[in-house]
Structure 1
Amino acid sequence: MKGLATFAASAGLLWACSEGLTLSRRTNASPKVVGFPVVRKSVPNPLKRDQLRRRSGTVKATLDNEETLYFANATLGTPAQTVRLHIDTGSSDLWVNTATSALCTAKGKVCTAAGTYSANDSSTYSYIASDFNITYVDGSGASGDYVTDNFTLGSTTLKTLQFGIGYTSSSPEGILGIGYQLNEVQVQRAGKSAYLNLPAQLVSDGLISSNAYSLWLNDLDASTGSILFGGVDTDQFQGTLATLPVQSESGGQYGEFLLTLTGLSFGDTVIAKDQAQAVLLDSGSSLTYLPDAMAEAIYDQVSAQYDSQEGAAYIPCSMASNSTTVGFTFSSPTIQVSMDELVIEISSSSGRPLTFSNGERACLFGIAPAGSSTPVLGDTFIRSAYLVYDLANNEISIAQTNFNATSNNVVEITTGTAAVPSATAVQNPVTATAGATNEAMAGTVTLGAGGTATATSKAKSGAMSTMPQMKLTALAVTLGMLYAAM
């Protein structure tokens, strides 16, 4: 996970929509939009953070932006208990730590900064069940109770919002999952019906008209960004929004924000074209994880050195000033990501900067190989895109972001089937045929009549670490090549 942005919460932009969505400005009333600032928080090792957070299987708020993680400040209970929550579009549950957990009582008091929740100290707490249990790829996660209590974000308060308490946890940060309800832990693990998570509850309470929200993380150097539930800020993006369908999963269900990546470029150099690669949009992931062949090709272009032990690449920090951009194409819209958004300063555990053996300062590169996992577009991509997540209609609208916007023009997303203002549906969007196994990476893709892509030649698959033919292995950065500068 990357940086945290701060989402400033303003009343009125959250609303529900069961059919389609229409964005319109109200003339006689404030728009039903809930917004809050998002704050960015620095993380010493964003790669390790991602490894801990990637799950197995699969109001205006200000977002704090601290290098690699995006957070919102909220309160739970009566009287209010303050918690800092990591904004995560890749999961769907809100959960927080309790102060009495082994993690939070251990030496170092690692939970102090993010805050904790005590059910016994809240007069409005209500117990539901002891089946909250979320697990990530490496076995880390949290488990405990599902409960309800009052939840306040910015100036908006929801009563009896359901969330999890981590009595056992391996992460000091609470998580605010705002994805599809189908992806909730009690649905996936306990086989129960979905509950109203934050976006759905905002709709149910009439605070927004549609289960939709927009995300603006701002650039890597900015301290804050914003999220708008039920609205769009047209001053925070350039040009027009392009609307793409979310790719459904087995049985035609929607559980994650999967788009189809059709092309990748570095400046005028085409890295991949005519692709049909499913990629997951995940604000909870600091880095972007691409199919191995794509990652290798990008590394060749930027002279990145891959460390197979870490599963990441390092790059001279001076590359941040390179004016060439990496282009991500989704059928027709292309989002350009500048190098200064992909070059991430890191340091050793002692706080000293890292250097290559020649003394040049080393930075983490914001693109890593996905291996056998589903490719992920994390914060190193999302910062350059303005995204509208329409859960009601299973669509994502996307545009090039407008960094450091100084004005606002908030428009409400209402119910209906009309297009989003300043948005156009992409014609004949490609449907993904390659997913976690990175199929069709080296193949030719033929577009069918409906825009469906089909691989017609050889595939290139497998994890980076099992591909000795790749040029990256010759560039592998051993631990001895990177060291803390004295």
Structure 2
Amino acid sequence: MRSSTAVAAVAALTAPLVSAIHLAPRSSNPRVISLPIERRNIPDILAHEQSRLRKRQGTVEQTLDNEESLYYANLSLGTPEQSLRLHIDTGSSDLWVNTPDSSFCSSATNPCEGGTYDPSASSTYKFVNDEFNISYVDGSGAIGDYVTDTLHFGGHTLNDFQFGIGETSSSQQGVLGIGYASNEVQVNRAGLDPYPNLPEALVNASLIASNAYSLWLNDLDASTGEILFGGVNTEKYEGDLATMPIIQTYGGYYELVVALTGMTVAGTDLSSSSSLPAGVLLDSGSTLSYLPDDITQEIYNQVQAVYQPDVGAAYAECSLASSDATLDFDFSGQTISVPYNELFLNAGTNNFGQPLTFTNGEEACLFGIAPTLGGTALLGDTFLRSAYVVYDLANNEISLAQTVFNSTSDNIQEITTGTDSVPNASPVANPVTDVAGATGGARLGAGAATATVTGFSDPTDTANAASLGKSIPFGSSMGAVFAVAVAVLAL
């Protein structure tokens, strides 16, 4: 999710009044629905990221993955039920699945292992329209219909639930988008009214009180996490939740963007960067986090990361993961600290099945921070694992707290309607809504551009590699040269 535009300070057209989420005391029957999520390893993280960052041609961007996702949930569609494993994505808004006869699933060697949906096999299927159409600048995407059918998960049922089906596609992984309904494909491609996506449908069915949910991914080694629709689990975070406004993009509320106001890496303050404050998208569908280029370079300098332009990411020595240093993110006074051991990812193996190493013999890890290429900043799973996040779409607010890793206790409280403050969620004192436009703000400007990275430590530069005692990890087979083309539209 990137864009490229001139650097400018831009104010959101309407800054909402910041108020705390109203948490009702826990009752014997709170209206909260838990959706367990599971983490799966993917064979090539960088291939996953590159496919994810391709741009859809349309008013608001939509994402689609070509690799197995890291975080997914199990649910079923139809009558009788057809089981599916879907990628959890706060950066998009449609639930989308393949059909068994889709161009991708019918031709793949291991076709669509997350499951498919066959409308002809369901007695409760209904056709809505043929406006489901996600396309990318590289020609990939999915085309099909919008339909309704019965959705089952967590012991609950939603009748006549609308979703997209891909009859022609180039992705094997279905997506469970839970962002703003205003970001749905049929709204932005066909100009139709939004339909109730999953969070709104749960409200309409009186299963939850408010269009809000919380996300807890747990740490890098954990295999499970949790989404609570309509609720907060106070045992999964420490301190208080700090509430801040979502920043408008395109003159409205389309994506879950907040203001990143400061950064500190291993005690070095980076807050003087001209790239800050930056609008950042909190996106569970992205494995890596993407920060403004100058900030990313400073972080790379601190960890002696070696940037590889051909894959758009950096490698660093795995031994640094044992450091007790942190990368700290400030949001209008609320700080989320990310331990170093959450930022060093398995880089895979070389062509001989051996771990990737630098030329000095040190094992190489994929570093969890990448540059924005002059475009939009995005905080993916390498950040979100350390944060407890409440997405309050009803009030256009997000609340953040430091996560508690590996918590086995529960104290679930219902998120009710209204905006009253409670001790668990307090508004930040001075919410920031003006953000820098180019190196990490909300997607602004007009026209299209192809973004490239300049000014980063080049691992092919002999002098630089020698100074770090490093060069390109030996035998790396990950990724390919790519340029991210971005379409940015006027507000």
TM, length-normalised to structure 1: 0.85
Deviation at 1:51, TM superposition (A): 2.0
**Aligned-partner Cα distance in 1 for 2:424–2:108:** 52
Residue aligning to 1:153: 153
Greater shift after overlay, 357-366 or 178-187?
A: 357-366
Q: 1:304-352: per-residue Cα shift (whole Å, max 9, x none)?
A: 0000111100011111111100001111001000111110002147554
Structure 1 residue identity aligned to 2:118: S
**Aligned-partner Cα distance in 1 for 2:440–2:230:** 35
Pick the aligned partner of 1:375 from 366, 374, 377: 377
Residue aligning to 2:347: 346
Structure 1 residue identity aligned to 2:347: I
1:264–1:272 contact (8 Å) kept in structure 2: yes
**Aligned-partner Cα distance in 2 for 1:375–1:433:** 11
Gapped regions of structure 2 (runs ≥ 5):
2-18, 62-66, 442-448, 478-491
Residue aligning to 1:311: 312
Secondary structure of the residue that 1:105 maps to in structure 2? Answer: coil
**What does 1:153-172 correspond to in 2, within 5 Å?**
153-172=153-172
Secondary structure of the residue that 1:340 maps to in structure 2? Answer: helix
Residue aligning to 2:182: 182
Secondary structure of the residue that 1:142 maps to in structure 2? Answer: strand
Residue aligning to 2:260: 261
Which structure exhibits the higher relative contact order, with contacts defined as CA atoms closer than 8 Å and separated by 6 or more residues? Answer: 2
Deviation at 1:129, TM superposition (A): 1.0
Pick the aligned partner of 1:408 from 396, 410, 414: 410
Pick the aligned partner of 2:367 from 358, 365, 368: 365
**Aligned-partner Cα distance in 2 for 1:241–1:273:** 26
Residue aligning to 1:397: 399
Structure 1 residue identity aligned to 2:348: S
Residue aligning to 1:482: 474
2:350–2:474 contact (8 Å) kept in structure 1: no
Deviation at 1:277, TM superposition (A): 0.7
**Aligned-partner Cα distance in 2 for 1:464–1:131:** 30
**Aligned-partner Cα distance in 1 for 2:216–2:472:** 39
**Aligned-partner Cα distance in 2 for 1:107–1:21:** 46
**What does 1:204-283 correspond to in 2, within 5 Å?**
204-251=204-251, 253-273=252-272, 275-283=276-284
Q: 1:94-151: per-residue Cα shift (whole Å, max 9, x none)?
A: 000111112112241231x201110000000001111101234644322211000011
**Aligned-partner Cα distance in 2 for 1:148–1:125:** 6
In the alignment, does 2:454 pair up with 1:467?
A: yes
Greater shift after overlay, 322-331 or 418-427?
A: 418-427
Deviation at 1:187, TM superposition (A): 0.5
2:372–2:439 contact (8 Å) kept in structure 1: no
1:128–1:148 contact (8 Å) kept in structure 2: yes
Q: 1:4-36: per-residue Cα shift (whole Å, max 9, x none)?
A: xxxxxxxxxxxxxxx984111244x41000112
Identity %: 53
1:372–1:463 contact (8 Å) kept in structure 2: no
1:46–1:68 contact (8 Å) kept in structure 2: no
1:265–1:327 contact (8 Å) kept in structure 2: yes
**Aligned-partner Cα distance in 2 for 1:104–1:157:** 27
Deviation at 1:353, TM superposition (A): 2.2
Structure 2 residue identity aligned to 1:365: F
Deviation at 1:265, TM superposition (A): 0.7
**Aligned-partner Cα distance in 2 for 1:211–1:156:** 17
Change (3 A) 1:327 1:137: farther
**Aligned-partner Cα distance in 2 for 1:333–1:472:** 34
**Aligned-partner Cα distance in 1 for 2:110–2:411:** 42
Deviation at 1:162, TM superposition (A): 0.4
**Aligned-partner Cα distance in 2 for 1:234–1:158:** 28
2:48–2:68 contact (8 Å) kept in structure 1: no
Residue aligning to 1:444: none
Q: May I ask how many residue pairs the two structures share in their alignment?
A: 436
Pick the aligned partner of 1:422 from 405, 421, 424: 424
In the alignment, does 2:117 pair up with 1:117?
A: yes
Secondary structure of the residue that 2:105 maps to in structure 1? Answer: helix
In the alignment, does 2:192 pair up with 1:192?
A: yes
Structure 1 residue identity aligned to 2:426: T
Change (3 A) 1:185 1:464: closer
Q: 1:238-270: per-residue Cα shift (whole Å, max 9, x none)?
A: 11100010001233x100001101111112111
**Aligned-partner Cα distance in 2 for 1:137–1:411:** 44
Structure 2 residue identity aligned to 1:220: L
2:257–2:281 contact (8 Å) kept in structure 1: yes
Greater shift after overlay, 35-44 or 341-350?
A: 341-350
Gapped regions of structure 1 (runs ≥ 5):
2-18, 59-65, 440-461
**Aligned-partner Cα distance in 2 for 1:432–1:51:** 29
Structure 1 residue identity aligned to 2:220: L
Secondary structure of the residue that 1:163 maps to in structure 2? Answer: strand
Structure 2 residue identity aligned to 1:482: F
**Aligned-partner Cα distance in 1 for 2:261–2:314:** 23
**Aligned-partner Cα distance in 1 for 2:29–2:434:** 40
Change (3 A) 1:340 1:136: farther
Secondary structure of the residue that 1:124 maps to in structure 2? Answer: coil
Change (3 A) 1:424 1:21: closer
**Aligned-partner Cα distance in 1 for 2:417–2:81:** 33
Change (3 A) 1:26 1:315: closer
Q: 1:280-306: per-residue Cα shift (whole Å, max 9, x none)?
A: 110011100001111111000001000
**Aligned-partner Cα distance in 2 for 1:183–1:288:** 21
2:26–2:412 contact (8 Å) kept in structure 1: no
Deviation at 1:463, TM superposition (A): 8.9
Change (3 A) 1:349 1:72: farther
2:77–2:150 contact (8 Å) kept in structure 1: yes
Structure 2 residue identity aligned to 1:434: A
**Aligned-partner Cα distance in 2 for 1:67–1:321:** 28
Secondary structure of the residue that 1:295 maps to in structure 2? Answer: helix
Deviation at 1:67, TM superposition (A): 10
